[in-house]
């Protein structure tokens, strides 16, 4: 299985209906796809670190690193709906960019 196959599997696992989502498996396959340098997989791992999903501990520094490796300039997770407080921690229900330190 190549890194693109792993990323496809990770994307599928993360996007399943709420009752069937498996963030652990999505993080596992994302991590494996990111190892050889897949930028999208690094972006997904940034989301998992920001959100603390998939048994990945919440870690904003690792999330920032993964986002930069993915070429997202610290914005990974935006397309997944992640909103962050002033310290970079995602919270649900927040709208806009007024409190997001990673968006210019």
DSSP assignment letter at 24: H
Q: Is residue 99 part of a domain?
A: no
**What is the pLDDT, as a whole number, of residue 48?**
92
- Cα–Cα–Cα angle for 20, 74, 94, nearest 5°? 60
Give CA 100 to chain center in angstroms: 16
In this prediction the pTM is 0.56
Q: What is the pLDDT of residue 97?
A: 42
Average pLDDT of the residues in 11-27: 76
Measured between alpha carbons, how far is 6 from 89 in angstroms, rounded to an integer?
A: 27
CA of residue 81 relative to chain centroid, distance: 10
pLDDT for 36-76, tens place per residue?
989 999 999 999 999 998 889 999 999 999 999 988 544 44
pLDDT classification of 16: cutoffs 50, 70, 90: low
Give me the domain span that covers residue 78.
Answer: 3-91
| Distances 73 to 22, 61, 65, 76 between C-alpha atoms, Å | 27, 13, 9, 8
Number of domains in the chain: 1
């Amino acid at each position: 299985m190549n890194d693109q196959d792993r990323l496809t599997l990770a994307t599928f696992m993360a996007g399943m209906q709420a009752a069937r989502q498996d963030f652990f498996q999505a993080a596992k396959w994302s991590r494996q796809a990111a190892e050889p340098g897949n930028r999208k997989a690094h972006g997904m791992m940034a989301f998992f670190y920001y959100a603390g999903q998939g048994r990945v501990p919440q870690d904003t520094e690792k999330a920032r690193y993964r986002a930069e490796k993915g070429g997202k300039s610290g914005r990974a997770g935006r397309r997944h709906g992640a909103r962050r407080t002033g310290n970079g921690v995602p919270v649900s229900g927040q709208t806009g960019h007024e409190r997001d330190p990673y968006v210019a």
